[in-house]
C-alpha cells in the first residue's frame, strides 16, 4: 500500500479541494517554512487510516476543513479512497470508503457522504494489505484485552512525528501512549513473519489448556482438603458423642471406616429426654395465687388504714364535744340573770341589732350535745371489734403468702434440674444433627477423588501435546533472529551517517524487549538513550526504520509500503527555524547525507518503498529537487504556499 494523493475539502464544499500528490515507490520531499502545515500532513494520513482522533491542533486546518481524503494504491493495482469527516467533537468513527481499479481518483466534494465507519475502514484496508483475519489473545492471566490484528497496528511502523523521531528511549509511533508499547510487542512478531495466526491459535489453546490444568488441580486439592477436614471432624464428633452419652468405649485412634460406623451408631441412640411433669402448670398456679393474695392483702391494708383514720377522727370529735359541753354546763350557775332580756345590751341598756341567745337556748344546745356524745362513745366498741376482725383476716393472708413463697422456691429448685436435663437433651440432639450433616457431606461416591485425578491427568496430557506442537513456535527466538537480519542493514547505514558508537566492532540493532535501538559492544550493550545528542537519536531512528521497512518489503509482509518522517534534520538547525534553506552555517554536508541515504534506500527497494519527508531543508541537488512534491515558501509575488490555501482563510 502506497499513497497517491491527500485531499482536504473545505467545509462549505464550494472551494477547490487542496490536493497533495505523492509519487509511489520513490522519495517524496515536502519542504517549506515553519507553520505551513507540513506536520499536519502526517496526522491527516494517520487519521484517514482509521484513528478515532485526528490529533490536529486548533488552527486553520481544523477550522476550515470539512473532509480529509486519502487515495491509496495496493500491490495488486487496486485503489481505495479513505475519507474521514472533520469530527464535530473530540473524535468520530464516521468514514467514507470507495474501492476501484487504477482509474479510481479522488471524489468530488458533493460525493463525500458517510457510508462506513472506522472499524470497517480498517478491516477493508487490512484485507487489501493481506493481513490475516485473526484475533490476538493475550497470555492467560495477562491484564490486557484481546484485539483484532489490523492496519491499526501495522500503521504504527509507518510514522515518525517530529517528537518521536528525536525521542531518547522509544522507537515507534505512539509508543508512549497507554497500551501501545504492549500492542507493538504483541504484533511485531506477526508483521515480521516470526508468528502467524496458527501460532497465535496454538498459544491461545495452550493457555486455555493450562488454565484447565490449574482448575482441575484446584478442585482436586479442595477435595483432598475436604477429605482431611471430614476425617478430623469425624474424630471430634466421636469424642463429643461419647461426652454426651451417645457412645461408649470409643477407640483412641479409629480408622476412617470405624469412624463412619460409630457415627452412624450414634444416630440410632435416642438422647436422654427430661421427665415430663406439671411443674410449669403448678408454678403458674402458685404465681396466680401469689398475685391474688397480694391484691387481697393490699385491700385489707387499705381497709385497716381507713378504720384507723376514722378512729382517730372520732377521738378528736368526742374530745371536742366533751370540752364544749363542759363549758356550757356553767350556765347552771346563773341566778336571776337567767331571765335577762336578750334584745337589750346588759351593759348600756341599748337595743341590740341582733339579739343574743337566751339561756334557755343554750341549755337546750347543751342537752343535745350531751346526747350526741353518748351516741359517739357507744360506737367505739363496735369499731374496735371490726378492726380486730380485719387484722385477723389480714394476718391469715400474710401467712398464706409466706407459704406460697416456700412452695415457689421448692419448685424453682426442681425446675433447675429439669433445665439441666433439657439442655443435655438439646446438646445431644444438636450433636446428632451435626453427625447427620457430616455423613451427608461425606456421602459422595468414593471414586470422586479418583475421577478428579483422572480429569487432571487428562488436562495435563492435553497441555503436553500442545507444548509439543508449539515447541517449534519459539516466537521470541524467531523474532530476535529476524531483528538480527534487520540489524545487518542498520549497522552499515549508521556508520555511513557517522552516528555515535557506530564504528566497528560495535553493531546496532532493535531491542524487542525495550522497543528501541541498542548498541552491542564487546564490553556490553548500550541503550539508545545513552548514545547522546539529538543527531544520534534522530539518526538511529532513521536507519532503524529504513532497515525495518526494507526487511518488510523484501519479505512481502502486510505492512503499508510507506514511511512518513517529520523533520528528520531538526538537530542541525536552530529551534523552529523559519526557513532552514536560509541558514548559512548549518551542517549541510550531514543534512545532505541524511537525505541521500533516504534517496538511496528508496532506490534500493526498487519501487516497493515510498518515503515521505516533511522538512525545512531544501537542497539544490538535482536528485533532491526531483523528489520535492511541494515547496511551501512564498512565491515571488508574496503569495503564501501552505497546506491550507490562502483564500480559505478569508
Taking all residues of the chain, what is their mean pLDDT, rounded to a whole number?
82
> At 311, phi and psi to the nearest 5?
-65, -45
Which grid cell is 68?
480529509
The larger pLDDT score, comparing residue 380 to residue 98, is at 98
* 43: nearest Cα among 24, 68, 25, 63: 68
- Residue identified by cell 501552505 is 642
pLDDT, tens only, 399-453: 888 888 887 777 777 666 666 767 777 777 777 787 777 677 665 445 577 888 8
| pLDDT reported for residue 560 | 97
Please count the residues of the chain: 650
- Give the C-alpha separation, 478 to 195, whole Å: 8
- Give the C-alpha separation, 563 to 151, whole Å: 14
Burial 458-492 (b: 16+ CB within 10 A, else e): ebbebbeebeeebeebebeebbbebbeebbebbbe
Distance, CA of 391 to chain centre: 83
Alpha-carbon distances, residue 35 vs 31, 60, 357, 422, 564 (angstroms) = 12, 10, 140, 97, 18
96 contacts 115 by C-beta, under 8 angstroms:
yes
- Least confident segment among 272-281, 303-312, 586-595: 272-281
The larger pLDDT score, comparing residue 590 to residue 418, is at 590
Distance, CA of 521 to chain centre: 47
189 contacts 478 by C-beta, under 8 angstroms:
yes
- Least confident segment among 38-52, 412-426, 484-498, 636-650: 412-426
Alpha-carbon distances, residue 418 vs 404, 421, 422, 431 (angstroms) = 21, 5, 6, 20
User: Helices marked H in 170-196 — which ranges?
Assistant: 180-192
What is the DSSP-derived secondary structure letter of residue 356? P
Q: Is the confidence at residue 550, as pLDDT, over 80?
A: yes
599 contacts 27 by C-beta, under 8 angstroms:
yes
pLDDT, tens only, 489-498: 999 999 999 9
Average pLDDT over residues 513-540: 91
569 contacts 591 by C-beta, under 8 angstroms:
yes
- Give the C-alpha separation, 415 to 420, whole Å: 9
User: With bands split at pLDDT 50, 70 and 90, how would you rate the model's confidence at 377?
Assistant: low
251 contacts 258 by C-beta, under 8 angstroms:
yes
Burial 337-358 (b: 16+ CB within 10 A, else e): eeeeebeeeeeeeeeeeeeeee
- Give the C-alpha separation, 516 to 540, whole Å: 9
615 contacts 29 by C-beta, under 8 angstroms:
yes
Indicate the SS3 state at residue 133.
coil
Average pLDDT over residues 135-144: 68
- Give the C-alpha separation, 416 to 411, whole Å: 9
362 contacts 340 by C-beta, under 8 angstroms:
no
- Give the C-alpha separation, 57 to 38, whole Å: 13
Pairing status of strand 507-511 against strand 516-521:
antiparallel
- Give the C-alpha separation, 469 to 522, whole Å: 37
The pTM score is 0.64
Indicate the SS3 state at residue 294.
helix
- Give the C-alpha separation, 248 to 43, whole Å: 89
Average pLDDT over residues 133-139: 74
Residue 51 CB coordination number (10 Å): 18
What is the DSSP-derived secondary structure letter of residue 508? E
| pLDDT reported for residue 445 | 44
20 contacts 143 by C-beta, under 8 angstroms:
no
The percentage of residues in the chain with a pLDDT greater than 70, rounded to a whole number, is: 78
* 203: nearest Cα among 132, 134, 130, 131: 134
- Least confident segment among 14-18, 566-570, 574-578, 628-632: 574-578
The larger pLDDT score, comparing residue 509 to residue 335, is at 509
User: With bands split at pLDDT 50, 70 and 90, how would you rate the model's confidence at 111?
Assistant: very high
pLDDT, tens only, 203-243: 667 777 888 888 888 888 887 776 666 567 777 777 777 77
| pLDDT reported for residue 441 | 64
Alpha-carbon distances, residue 315 vs 152, 235, 306, 636 (angstroms) = 121, 87, 14, 145
- Give the C-alpha separation, 209 to 329, whole Å: 133
* 29: nearest Cα among 637, 626, 443: 626
| pLDDT reported for residue 567 | 92
- Give the C-alpha separation, 399 to 270, whole Å: 46
- Give the C-alpha separation, 550 to 489, whole Å: 9
HSE-up of 58 (CA within 13 Å, CB side)? 3
- Give the C-alpha separation, 388 to 383, whole Å: 9
Amino acid at each position: 500500500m502506497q499513497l497517491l494523493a491527500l485531499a482536504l475539502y473545505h467545509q462549505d464544499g464550494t472551494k477547490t479541494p487542496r490536493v497533495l500528490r505523492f509519487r509511489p515507490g520513490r522519495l517524496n520531499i515536502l519542504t517549506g517554512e515553519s507553520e505551513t502545515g507540513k506536520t499536519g500532513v502526517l496526522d491527516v494520513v494517520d487519521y484517514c487510516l482509521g484513528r478515532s482522533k485526528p490529533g490536529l491542533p486548533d488552527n486553520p486546518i481544523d477550522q476550515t476543513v470539512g473532509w480529509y481524503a486519502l487515495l491509496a494504491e495496493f500491490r495488486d493495482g487496486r485503489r481505495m479512497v479513505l475519507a474521514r469527516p472533520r469530527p464535530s467533537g473530540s473524535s468520530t468513527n464516521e468514514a467514507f470508503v470507495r474501492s476501484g481499479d487504477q482509474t479510481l481518483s479522488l471524489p468530488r466534494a458533493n460525493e463525500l457522504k458517510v457510508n462506513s465507519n472506522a472499524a470497517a475502514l480498517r478491516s477493508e484496508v487490512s484485507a487489501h494489505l493481506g493481513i490475516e483475519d485473526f484475533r490476538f489473545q493475550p497470555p492467560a492471566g495477562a491484564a490486557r484485552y484481546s484485539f483484532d490484528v489490523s492496519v491499526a497496528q501495522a500503521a504504527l511502523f509507518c510514522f515518525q512525528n517530529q517528537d518521536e523521531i528525536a525521542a531518547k528511549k522509544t522507537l515507534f509511533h505512539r509508543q508512549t501512549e497507554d497500551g501501545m508499547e504492549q500492542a507493538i510487542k504483541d504484533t511485531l512478531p506477526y508483521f515480521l513473519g516470526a508468528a502467524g495466526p496458527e501460532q497465535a491459535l496454538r498459544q491461545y489453546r495452550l493457555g486455555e489448556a493450562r488454565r484447565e490444568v490449574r482448575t482441575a488441580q484446584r478442585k482436586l486439592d479442595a477435595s483432598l482438603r475436604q477429605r482431611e477436614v471430614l476425617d478430623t471432624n469425624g474424630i471430634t464428633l466421636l469424642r463429643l458423642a461419647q461426652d454426651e452419652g451417645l457412645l461408649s468405649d470409643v477407640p483412641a485412634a479409629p480408622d476412617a471406616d470405624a469412624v463412619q460406623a460409630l457415627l452412624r451408631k450414634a444416630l440410632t441412640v435416642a438422647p436422654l429426654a427430661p421427665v415430663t411433669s406439671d411443674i410449669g402448670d403448678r408454678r403458674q398456679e402458685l404465681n396466680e395465687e401469689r398475685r391474688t393474695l397480694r391484691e387481697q392483702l393490699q385491700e385489707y391494708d387499705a381497709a385497716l388504714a381507713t378504720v384507723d383514720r376514722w378512729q382517730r377522727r372520732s377521738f378528736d370529735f368526742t374530745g371536742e364535744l366533751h370540752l364544749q359541753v363542759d363549758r356550757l354546763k356553767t350556765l347552771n350557775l346563773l341566778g336571776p340573770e337567767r331571765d335577762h332580756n336578750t334584745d337589750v345590751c346588759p351593759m348600756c341598756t341599748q337595743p341590740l341589732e341582733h339579739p343574743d341567745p337566751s339561756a334557755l337556748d343554750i341549755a337546750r344546745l347543751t342537752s343535745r350535745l350531751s346526747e350526741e356524745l353518748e351516741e359517739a362513745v357507744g360506737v367505739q366498741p363496735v369499731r374496735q371489734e371490726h378492726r380486730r376482725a380485719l387484722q385477723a383476716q389480714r394476718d391469715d393472708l400474710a401467712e398464706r403468702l409466706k407459704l406460697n413463697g416456700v412452695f415457689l422456691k421448692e419448685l424453682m429448685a426442681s425446675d433447675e434440674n429439669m433445665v439441666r436435663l433439657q439442655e443435655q437433651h438439646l446438646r445431644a440432639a444438636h450433636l446428632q444433627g451435626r453427625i447427620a450433616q457430616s455423613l451427608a457431606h461425606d456421602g459422595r461416591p468414593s471414586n470422586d477423588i479418583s475421577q478428579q485425578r483422572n480429569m487432571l491427568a487428562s488436562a495435563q496430557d492435553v497441555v503436553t501435546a500442545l507444548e509439543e506442537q508449539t515447541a517449534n513456535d519459539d516466537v521470541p527466538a524467531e523474532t530476535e533472529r529476524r531483528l538480527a537480519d534487520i540489524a545487518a542493514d542498520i549497522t552499515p547505514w549508521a556508520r555511513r551517517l557517522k552516528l555515535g558508537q557506530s564504528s566497528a566492532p560495535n553493531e546496532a540493532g532493535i531491542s524487542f524487549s525495550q522497543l528501541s535501538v541498542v548498541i552491542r559492544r564487546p564490553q556490553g550493550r548500550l541503550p539508545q538513550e545513552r548514545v547522546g545528542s539529538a543527531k544520534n537519536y534522530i539518526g538511529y531512528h532513521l536507519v532503524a526504520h529504513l532497515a525495518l521497512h526494507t526487511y518488510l518489503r523484501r519479505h512481502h509482509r502486510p505492512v503499508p509500503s510507506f514511511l512518513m518522517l517529520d523533520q528528520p534534520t531538526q538537530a542541525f538547525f536552530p529551534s523552529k527555524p523559519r526557513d532552514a534553506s536560509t541558514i548559512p552555517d548549518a551542517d549541510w554536508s550531514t543534512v545532505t547525507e541524511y537525505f541521500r541515504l533516504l534517496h538511496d534506500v528508496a532506490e534500493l527497494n526498487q519501487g516497493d518503498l515510498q518515503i515521505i519527508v516533511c522538512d525545512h531543508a531544501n537542497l539544490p541537488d538535482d536528485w533532491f529537487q526531483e523528489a520535492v512534491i511541494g515547496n511551501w515558501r512564498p512565491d515571488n509575488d508574496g503569495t503564501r504556499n501552505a497546506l491550507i490555501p490562502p483564500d480559505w482563510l478569508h
